[in-house]
């Protein structure tokens, strides 16, 4: 059926429309604990001007945010706070792990510092650097926008995939967790079976 | 306040007369006094009454496997007199098991959190402390991490958290 559309009508999928809206109005939650936080502030300030990418509205209430930027090292005393704030954010929500410390613990390989926040909360984008320059953070936000546009759905189905739920990093270190998880996680069981098959 | 502090002799001399010969050393104008743990509170009371009205810091050193060390823990008290500008370092040595010293909170209120920090990180007990809880580490932490026999990477405490996935919200 041929339908004559006026010039000012655009046809799209609802998923793409929702993703387009979401990616261009990311409201960051600045979880800044160290020097990365200074670069994060510089990114939002006039020189680097995060407003060009629609993500300048830093909110200090997690209820109003959909992008958590973890900038700086997270100590074991801070991690419960981080997790609570993450749980308080509305869906759909994303997380950027900014800098070496947030991603891996950085040089702080000590009893008090969590060795990468991705062990305990989901992370969408990692920014290398110590600290990263604002350009790098902006690139991460652009990449995240691409990701949202590419795989975003209006109902958030992209968050349900088994690969995203895989508790990968924590499994490497804790044999106890491995046994606990393997009993009920089919993805882990499949991976374990594949690993056993290789050996 | 005088620009240079007067020598400590008129304080240390009566101190030695009253409490016996205590080990004192001086290095570059800084005096250090070693006090046995059982008489520490009396000595601190004496010093405070002689003008040391400010407790600058309370900290500790773990001398585990340190050559020449006879006792494992060395408490460090930094005292100052705001009236005369004099300063004095007091050392109190204690040993395992259950290293205990008398709390100086009754003398200087500022010792409260300083002693809580030492308890938290070194596990030194302070008898008579009004509220000896952990200060910097989380409440559920069980070790004393600045002890030399505590491993640098900890005993797994930093991995012992619930793992949140997208399922959890």
Residue B154: inside a domain:
no
**Rounded to a whole number, what is the distance in Å from the CA of B138 to chain A's nearest CA?**
6
Residue B113: inside a domain:
yes
Residue B145: inside a domain:
yes
Residue B121: inside a domain:
yes
pLDDT at residue number A189: 67
Residues 6+ apart with CB under 8 A from A21: none
With residue A18 as reference, give the H or E element that holds it. Answer: helix A14-23
Q: How many domains does chain B have?
A: 1
Residue B142: inside a domain:
yes
CA atoms within 13 A on the CB side of B24: 17
Residue B93: inside a domain:
yes
Contact B163 A119 (CB under 8 A): yes
**Rounded to a whole number, what is the distance in Å from the CA of B157 to chain A's nearest CA?**
7
Residue B81: domain span = 9-149
SS (H, E, C) A122-173: CCCEEECCCCCCHHHHHHHHHHHHHHHHHHCCCCCHHHHCHHHHCCHHHHHH
Q: Is A120 helix (H, G, I), strand (E, B) or coil?
A: coil
* Residue in B38, B71, B44, B42 with CA at minimum distance from that of residue B58: B44
> For chain A, which ranges sit under pLDDT 70?
1, 162-192, 198-199
pLDDT at residue number A172: 47
Enumerate long-range contacts of B19-28, CB under 8 Å, 24 or more apart. B19/B43, B19/B46
Residue of B nearest to A112 (CA): B158
Q: Is B102 helix (H, G, I), strand (E, B) or coil?
A: strand
Q: Which residues of B touch A85 (CB under 8 A)?
A: none
Cross-chain CB nearest to A122 (options B151, B158, B165)? B165
Residues 6+ apart with CB under 8 A from B49: none
Q: What does the pLDDT look like over B71-125, one tens digit per residue?
A: 999 999 999 999 888 999 999 999 988 899 999 999 999 999 999 999 999 999 9
| ipTM of this complex | 0.78
Contact A106, A131 (CB under 8 A): no
Residue B48: inside a domain:
yes
Residue B156: inside a domain:
no
Q: What does the pLDDT look like over B110-149, one tens digit per residue?
A: 999 999 999 999 999 999 999 999 999 988 888 899 999 9
- Which CATH number goes with the domain that contains B46? 3.30.460.80
Domains by residue range for chain A, with CATH? 14-160 (3.40.50.12280), 162-199 (no CATH)
Find residues 134-163 of chain A whose CB sits inside 8 Å of chain B. Answer: 159-160
């Amino acid at each position: 059926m041929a339908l004559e559309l006026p010039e000012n009508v655009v046809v799209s999928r609802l998923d793409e429309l929702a993703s387009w809206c979401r990616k261009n109005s990311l409201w960051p939650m600045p979880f800044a604990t160290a020097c990365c936080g200074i670069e994060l502030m510089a990114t939002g300030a006039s020189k680097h001007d995060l407003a060009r990418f629609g993500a300048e509205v830093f909110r200090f209430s997690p209820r109003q945010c959909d992008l958590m930027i973890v900038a700086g090292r997270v100590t074991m005393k801070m991690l419960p706070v981080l997790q609570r704030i993450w749980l308080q954010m509305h869906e759909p929500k994303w997380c950027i792990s900014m800098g070496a410390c947030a991603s891996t613990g950085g040089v702080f390989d000590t009893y008090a510092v969590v060795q990468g926040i991705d062990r305990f909360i989901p992370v969408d984008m990692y920014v290398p650097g110590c600290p990263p320059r604002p350009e790098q953070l902006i690139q991460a936000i652009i990449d995240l926008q691409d990701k949202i546009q590419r795989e975003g759905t209006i109902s958030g189905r992209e968050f349900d995939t088994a690969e995203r739920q895989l508790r990968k990093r924590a499994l490497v270190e804790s044999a106890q967790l491995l046994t606990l998880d393997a009993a009920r996680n089919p993805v882990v069981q499949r991976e374990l079976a594949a690993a056993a098959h290789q050996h | 306040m005088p620009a240079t502090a007067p020598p400590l002799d008129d304080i240390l001399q009566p101190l030695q007369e009253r409490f016996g010969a205590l080990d004192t050393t001086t290095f570059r104008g800084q005096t250090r006094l070693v006090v046995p743990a059982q008489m520490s509170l009396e000595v601190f009371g004496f010093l405070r009454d002689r003008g040391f009205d400010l407790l600058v810091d309370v900290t500790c050193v773990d001398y585990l496997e340190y050559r020449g060390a006879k006792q494992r823990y060395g408490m460090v008290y930094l005292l100052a007199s705001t009236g005369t500008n004099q300063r004095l370092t007091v050392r109190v040595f204690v040993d395992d098991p259950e290293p205990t010293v008398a709390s100086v909170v009754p003398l200087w209120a500022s010792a409260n959190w300083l002693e809580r920090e030492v308890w938290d990180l070194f596990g030194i007990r302070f008898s008579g402390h009004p509220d000896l809880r952990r200060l910097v580490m989380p409440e559920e932490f069980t070790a004393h991490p600045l002890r030399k026999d505590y491993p640098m990477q900890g005993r797994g405490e930093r991995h012992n958290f619930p793992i949140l996935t997208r399922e959890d919200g």
